A and B are shown apart, each in its own frame.
Chain A
Amino acid sequence: MLRAFRFIAERTSYCFAFVPFVVLSGYFAASYAFFIFYFSVESLTPRTMGAFGVTLAGTLLLCTALHALGLGVLESAGIRAGLALPRRINQGFLHFQRNGSSSPSDLTALLRGLARFPQYHMGLAVGIALLVTVPSVAVEYVFSRSVRHLAAGIAGGLIAGVLYCYFCYVITEALSGELRSACRKEIARQGGSVPGVYGISLQRKIGFTVAVVFFSMLMLVYFLVFCRASLVLTSGFLITTFFTVAVLVSLYFRSVKAAFDEILRTARHVSQGRGELLHLGSNEKELVEFAEHFNDSVCETIALRENLEVQVDERTRELSLKAKELAEANDRLLELDRLKSRFLSSVSHELRTPLTSILGFSQIILRDLERAVLPVLPESGKVRAKADRIGTNVGVIRREGERLTRLINGVLDLARIESGRMEWRDTWVGLNSCIEQAVQVVEGAFDRDPDVRLAVRTESSLPQIFADPDRIVQVLVNLLNNALKFTRTGEVRVSSGKGDGREVELAVEDTGPGMPPEELDRVFERFHQVEGREGRPGGTGLGLAICREIVEHYGGCIWAESRIGQGCRFVFVLPADDSGGETFDGMPGSSKSKSESGSKSKDPSSPGSP
């Protein structure tokens, strides 16, 4: 049907292409009316039949001619009264179809015309129905002089008129859907806003269609039950009704299906991220409004997406700027770090050089004093006392110089650890050999203090750890010196053992005054001094801080345990290699006391003594 319509439209004019379909629907409507009329009257005289047939045929011919004349011939003859709408539609169609493109305003005008076109055809149908019905009914009344015939004729005419209007409307709307859709697409393509023009609402259309179908059924029942009806006539009515209903329903469902297909296709494209708008050929109010809302949301989504893209671009730009800034900042930091290292290196050199002189000359002075001056001085007397005092004072200078050296070393160590420039010469190492080395380092200091003895208790078969032995020795030496510093009399004991699971544990205990619980964490802070805790002079306040840095570098932890008056116990654990066994590293056995290696013990009951 659409193909036929297109064929005619392309060869004549757009509006003329409707004529055959409108006439066909007129034929159906008239047939319908005829059946109603015929069944309602008892008999028709042959003259009436003849007159009716002639009138019907004549009016049908007239309809066609009127349509033809009205929409095509009249126009070409220059008679334009009442033809403004079809003319406008024809011009718009020609312009759009043949010239390729039209401006959005022309297309909008065409769309508005198409929206009004079904009503225009309805008006035309009313006129034609009147033209057909009035003469037919009048002729029948003249011949029959029957009021019943008159009433039946009027009723049939009314029904035929209403049906004809409806058929015209549906057919026009269905056939013009394609052009309507194309117009909407083209307007949207050109960036114009699609006008919200529409015809009768879907609800009314569906209601009327259902009503027509029901009415046909009722009529059928009425004729079959109450009227005399020959088989031929009944079949004729049935066929007419069937064709009417089938054409209407098929047209109607085709347009609805086309609309839903288009909705589905567009929705699928939109969900795939293609910003496509919905352009329905439908003229129904609800569908047009739906398309408008749908397109509004699609436009909104597109705008949001574009906005999002702009935002993403902007954010990306900001991020790359930030990344650049960070890279520059990183370069500056690296440069600063390099300068810091150089500075530390210089400071180290510059501080060590004068310290070399201070310490070295102190020692030379002491040596000269002992070897050259003191031997020639009397054992007592003022000069001897002064000379002794010089010796004592130079000793102070030397010890303080040594302390300053330790302090510098400590600061440098901490700075190196923090800046990641510490050299960690990690290797598999046994803890007991570290203890042995540490003991060797502090032996001299313990030897000078006869009241404190050093006990060593190590466990054999300890797993090895992967660490820099010098750093582990450094931790142990710091802890041992610290313990010695705060122990007046008694014992400092260093011990090793297996910790929980894959750890090894080292502990340094003393019999010093201990410290309050709140100090246990703070002792690892730099330059922290425990209040009221008196020790020997010479501490730097950095030893325990360095210990913590080193132990934590190896993933271990260090802590202090103490109670006032009961000494301190510093423990650190390090993760160990649990696969291999230990290693004999020089200090086997369960316990080895420093007293074995010559220290003077004044506490034979110590658990560390043999």
Chain B
Amino acid sequence: MKIVIVDDERHVCSLLEQTLEELEEEEGVVILSAPDGEAGLALIEKERPSLVFLDIMMPGLNGYEVSRAVRQRPELRGTQVILLTAKGQETDREEGLASGAVEYVTKPFDPDRVLLLARKLLGLEK
């Protein structure tokens, strides 16, 4: 089982990695990260993760575009996308969910809740 984190902020990637560390240790989930949209999409296509944490405002391909691209690939049918963004307006949320994401989480986020969400979506609830 794999999780891909796509965020241009290195610290946020690191924070997410540490947040999800528990899954890596306990469930053997592999956590990978990419610094922008293009690299993220390439990584997703290559690794076919079960879960993707995707930032929206990134240079190059933005989160919506990556999410839509993931939705359009039949081979990525099993990949669930969580948008994780600083954009908090209701319209942003709607656009995010319309692009194919299953969840829309605004920054700053509560690591415990994000972990719970990841467990739930991966079917690894305690």
Q: Which of A345, A352, A423, A470 contacts B108 (CB 8 A)?
A: A352
With A360-B19, A364-B15, A423-B91 known to touch, is A349 a contact of B86 (CB < 8 Å)? yes
Task: Judge whether B57 and A356 touch: CB under 8 Å.
Answer: no
A380 contacts the other chain (CB 8 A): no
Complex CA–CA separation, A608 to B16 (angstroms): 44
A357 contacts the other chain (CB 8 A): yes
Tell me the B66-97 residues at the A interface (CB within 8 Å): 86-91
Task: Judge whether B111 and A405 touch: CB under 8 Å.
Answer: no
A355 contacts the other chain (CB 8 A): yes
With A361-B15, A364-B15, A364-B18 known to touch, is A356 a contact of B89 (CB < 8 Å)? no
Complex CA–CA separation, A409 to B110 (angstroms): 16
Tell me the B100-118 residues at the A interface (CB within 8 Å): 106-112
Complex CA–CA separation, A405 to B18 (angstroms): 22
Closest to A355 in B: B108
Task: Judge whether B90 and A356 touch: CB under 8 Å.
Answer: no
* Secondary structure call for the A interface: helix
Closest to A368 in B: B18
Task: Judge whether B110 and A363 touch: CB under 8 Å.
Answer: yes
Sorting the interface of chain B by its residue count into under 10, 10 to 19, 20 to 34 or 35 or more gives 20 to 34
Q: Which of B15, B57, B87, B90 contacts A360 (CB 8 A)?
A: B15
Task: Judge whether B9 and A360 touch: CB under 8 Å.
Answer: no
Please name all residues of chain A whose beta carbon is closer than 8 Å to the beta carbon of B19 when the two chains form the complex: 360, 364
With A360-B111, A363-B111, A367-B111 known to touch, is A353 a contact of B15 (CB < 8 Å)? no
Task: Judge whether B12 and A356 touch: CB under 8 Å.
Answer: yes
B126 contacts the other chain (CB 8 A): no
Please name all residues of chain B whose beta carbon is closer than 8 Å to the beta carbon of A361 when the two chains form the complex: 11, 15, 18
Task: Judge whether B111 and A353 touch: CB under 8 Å.
Answer: no
Complex CA–CA separation, A378 to B108 (angstroms): 34
Closest to A360 in B: B15
Closest to B112 in A: A363
Q: Which of A357, A401, A412, A425 contacts B90 (CB 8 A)?
A: A425
How many whole Å from A218's CB to the nearest CB in chain B? Answer: 110
Please name all residues of chain A whose beta carbon is closer than 8 Å to the beta carbon of B86 when the two chains form the complex: 348-349, 352-353, 356
Complex CA–CA separation, A438 to B29 (angstroms): 37
Complex CA–CA separation, A454 to B102 (angstroms): 35
Complex CA–CA separation, A356 to B84 (angstroms): 11
How many whole Å from A406's CB to the nearest CB in chain B? Answer: 11
With A360-B19, A364-B18 known to touch, is A348 a contact of B108 (CB < 8 Å)? no
Please name all residues of chain B whose beta carbon is closer than 8 Å to the beta carbon of A545 when the two chains form the complex: none
Complex CA–CA separation, A348 to B89 (angstroms): 11
Scan A477-512; emit 1 where CB is below 8 A from any B CB, else 0: 000000000000000000000000000000000000
The 3 A-B residue pairs whose C-beta atoms are closest, nearest first, are A352-B86, A356-B108, A356-B107
Chain A contacts to B: CB under 8 angstroms: 345, 348-349, 352-353, 355-361, 363-364, 367, 401, 405, 409, 412, 423, 425, 470
Chain B contacts to A: CB under 8 angstroms: 9, 11-12, 15, 18-19, 57, 86-91, 106-112
Can you list 10 pairs linking A and B with CB atoms under 8 Å apart? A349-B57, A352-B108, A356-B108, A358-B108, A360-B109, A361-B11, A364-B15, A412-B88, A423-B91, A470-B90
7 A-B pairs besides A356-B108, A360-B12 with CB distance below 8 A are A345-B87, A353-B12, A356-B12, A361-B15, A363-B110, A363-B112, A367-B111
